[in-house]
Amino acid sequence: MRGLPAGPRVLLRRLREIMAEPISAQERLDKIVTQIAANVVAEVCSVYVLRSDGVLELYATEGLKAEAVHHAALRTGQGLVGTIAAEARPLNLPNAQMHPAYRYLPETGEEIYSSFLGVPILRAGRTLGVLVVQNRTHRTYYDEEVEALQTTAMVLAEMLAVGELERLAQPGTVIDLKRPITTTGVGLCEGVGLGHVVLHEPRVVVTALIAEDVEVEAQRLEQAIASLRLFVDDMLSRDDIAETGEHRDVLEAYRMFAHDRGWVRRMNEAIHNGLTAEAAVEKVQSDTRARLQRQTDPFLRDRLHDFDDLANRLLRVLMNKSHGPSAQELPRDAIIVARNMGAAELLDYDRERVRGLVLEEGGPTSHVTIVARALGIASVGRASNVLSLVENGDAVIVDGLAGEVHIRPTADVEAAYAEKVRFRAKRQEQYQLLRDKPAVTRDGQRIRLLMNAGLLVDLPHLEESGAEGIGLFRTELQFMIAERMPKLGEQRAFYGTVMEAAGELPITFRTLDIGGDKVLPYLRTAQEENPAMGWRAIRLGLDRPGLLRMQLRALLQAAAGRQLRIMLPMITDLWEVRETRELIDREIGHLKRHGHETPSELLIGAMIEVPSMLWQLDGLSKLVDFVSVGSNDLHQFMTASDRGNIMVAGRFDPLSRPFLRALRQIVEAAEKADLPVTLCGEMAGNPLMAMALIGLGYRSLSMSAAAVGPVKAMAMALDAGKVSETIRSLLDDQGNEDGVRTALADFAVAEDVPF
């Protein structure tokens, strides 16, 4: 590989000096263009900066009329400069006037120039401007000159990113990099978060761009690539990485890319053209990102993402940077922005400082979402390309209800949201006033409001929300965030802590509901075509009794001398309850034989979340002490629509006749059998739906802690008798096809019930 010819190498050295000079931004830009023109032996060198209105404004020039600076302008897509900006690709033209996009700008006096070379000023794949050189004579610019110009463009991108060029913006204009942007994704966790961007994988800022010694840089790159490859190999040979499965394929692809010759060659070329190893990685990464943004094929996008991840790792190796911001660097109002992350990674952040979460990927039931919800962090997922739109420290607002992310919001958007937050806080204060009051309807019906939990971070909410207990403790969450299978002693200690925190209040522990979307990274399971209907929950528990028995033993031991409520998930047939009871009895026998104290009272319950249970309620009531309706799964299975698939998840309304009739059948059967029934799906936490449930006869509801206040306010304003009447007429009138939701909302408005 050749080194850079003397001219461009001198240019890069001069650039380094110019960057260090204590001069104004305009002077620096002017010096840069003069220097480039001299080195490339071009008559013209110009810098165009992209403004928020999509216009490329001339910011500096050598060779064009000086008066044109800050006046000459082209739209993105217009002319050669606009084409480069739109396509994020260089244009190298010996005869520019022949190009179909050529456009004459009289104010610059450029018609006499024939040859044209322009490169985009890119940062994280995003175009911030264009750098151009022009010559009178017909000439083709050398590859080395293109490279040198691209390197200079990187320097200019850095000047833009650190805000140096912002001060040059004409009154009334804003450079594109600082433009307010609203991007829409999918709301994952309700709430509004105002704060500042913290990139989960912070962009490594490359400051040394220009190589002192090409050979040294080439060696540094070689060593870094070798250590990257070792890292990927190590990852693949870890014991906890299963032999097969989707993640394995992803890692294998990583390994392949880490050995990709084209990638390594492009980085080496950049070094031989005068860049440091890290600047070379960044340059190739920026090109990849620009391609990524143009790419719509999801498969190719994924592959380009893999290269992006690898480049990040490589940069970290080269610059000795660790992963993620340290606790001290985290602002008090952090909005974490990531492509995706694991549940445990989110828990690594100081909860007190995290106001929001934005993910490029991340679906409503991904694990990180479950944890974000448990933590009450306003979250938005599927915010495509958000990583290329933000810089660390940018102001940002996350609206988890609307699924919107406002990046660098304008003052009025910020004010509107600040008002929204104040309003929510005020409402929260009102709920606080209700905290110690029992939820009793206007006509004297007592409604029991419980909360759902699963992690230690949930426990303080018990006190804060005024919930009367934990109606659903999802034990699998603790397993999901663990690095390895929790041992018996660890499980016992964990359940003990939960019981301690709950004091006298009841807790319903649900046995492990893993499988489906809830995956334990360290538990090998076969790939299934329909995991939600596959080998999950109690099915897995009964087939792998070692796992279930260990959990039962831990629960029984932790509850020594106190009440223990155990609930079984995904019960489909009665024999599953019988078999589990046998396991429990055996565990109790074991404890007694070994002189352990057993719970003072043991109550066993079943989830009703598989439709088959609707026709076995009578038999079930003889086997269990209580039931709880899992409306999330029951609705998914009754409507054959995957709750985790956003294409269908919101398609069918739970406030519909067939579903409400099913829920009524359950509550009536339970009442007849004198079987306590709770409903613990997401419906219970939605005031309008909770109103319908009270109308159907439900008197015990379990919901997220944040929903307890709003549901209590609704219940206390409600006449349960009247809503029962309304629901009855809506469900019994066979010919009526009118929307149940609308009718219920009308009822609530007429009755002054807040929802």
Task: State yes or no: residue 633 binds ligand PEP (CB under 6 A).
Answer: yes
| Segment contacting Mg ion by CB under 5 A, of 126-134, 167-175, 241-249, 603-611 | 603-611
Task: State yes or no: residue 609 binds Mg ion (CB under 5 A).
Answer: yes
Task: State yes or no: residue 110 binds ligand PEP (CB under 6 A).
Answer: no
Residue in 147, 269, 513, 576 binding ligand PEP, rule: CB under 6 A:
513
Closest distance of CB 526 from ligand PEP, Å: 21
Q: Say which entry of Mg ion, ligand PEP, none residue 681 contacts (CB below 5 to 8 A, set by partner kind).
A: ligand PEP
Binding flags for ligand PEP, 433-472, as an x/- string (CB under 6 A): ---------------------------------------x
Task: State yes or no: residue 645 binds ligand PEP (CB under 6 A).
Answer: no
Q: How many residues bind Mg ion (CB under 5 A)?
A: 3
Q: Say which entry of Mg ion, ligand PEP, none residue 277 contacts (CB below 5 to 8 A, set by partner kind).
A: none
Task: State yes or no: residue 191 binds ligand PEP (CB under 6 A).
Answer: no
Task: State yes or no: residue 474 binds ligand PEP (CB under 6 A).
Answer: yes
193 bridge partner residues: 398
DSSP state of 102: -
**Binding to ligand PEP in span 677-716, by CB under 6 A:** 680-681
Q: Is 3 helix (H, G, I), strand (E, B) or coil?
A: coil
Q: Which is nearer to Mg ion, 81 or 638 (CB)?
A: 638
Closest distance of CB 365 from ligand PEP, Å: 8
Please list, in sequence order, all residues whose beta carbon lies within 8 angstroms of the beta carbon of residue 32, skipping any fewer than 6 positions away. Answer: 15, 18, 47, 60, 152, 155, 156
| Segment contacting ligand PEP by CB under 6 A, of 120-128, 339-347, 425-433, 625-633 | 625-633
632: amino acid identity, one letter: N
End-to-end Cα distance, the chain: 70
Q: Is 270 helix (H, G, I), strand (E, B) or coil?
A: helix
Task: State yes or no: residue 609 binds ligand PEP (CB under 6 A).
Answer: yes
Question: Is-contact 474 630, C-beta < 8 A?
Answer: no
Q: Which is nearer to ligand PEP, 251 or 472 (CB)?
A: 472
Closest distance of CB 681 from ligand PEP, Å: 3
Task: State yes or no: residue 127 binds ligand PEP (CB under 6 A).
Answer: no
| Segment contacting ligand PEP by CB under 6 A, of 99-107, 267-275, 560-568, 629-637 | 629-637
Nearest of 552, 560, 562 to residue 598 by alpha carbon: 560
**Binding to Mg ion in span 614-653, by CB under 5 A:** 630, 633
| Segment contacting ligand PEP by CB under 6 A, of 58-66, 88-96, 591-599, 624-632 | 624-632
CA 576/CA 571 separation, integer angstroms? 7
Active-site residue identified among 367, 406, 461, 635: 367
CA 409/CA 397 separation, integer angstroms? 7
Backbone angles phi, psi at 653, to 5 degrees: -80, 130
Give the per-residue SS3 of 160-191: HHCCCCHHHCCCCCCEHHHCCEEEECEEEECC
Tokens 């692809």 — which residue?
253
Task: State yes or no: residue 568 binds ligand PEP (CB under 6 A).
Answer: no
H-helix or E-strand spanning residue 192: strand 192-199
Closest distance of CB 569 from ligand PEP, Å: 7
Structure token digits, residue 273: 């053209």
Kindly report the number of other CB atoms within 10 A of residue 387's CB atom.
Answer: 23
Binding flags for Mg ion, 256-275, as an x/- string (CB under 5 A): --------------------
Q: Which is nearer to Mg ion, 396 or 606 (CB)?
A: 606
Nearest of 467, 359, 386 to residue 684 by alpha carbon: 467
Q: What is the dihedral of CA 232, 233, 234, 235, to 10 degrees?
A: 50
Is 680 a known active-site residue? Answer: yes
CA 398/CA 404 separation, integer angstroms? 6
Nearest of 301, 356, 363, 321 to residue 201 by alpha carbon: 321
Nearest of 241, 216, 206 to residue 314 by alpha carbon: 206
Task: State yes or no: residue 641 binds ligand PEP (CB under 6 A).
Answer: no
CA 132/CA 74 separation, integer angstroms? 13
Catalytic residue numbers?
Answer: 367, 680
Residues that bind Mg ion (CB under 5 A): 609, 630, 633
Q: Which residues bind ligand PEP (CB under 6 A)?
A: 472, 474, 513, 609, 630-633, 680-681
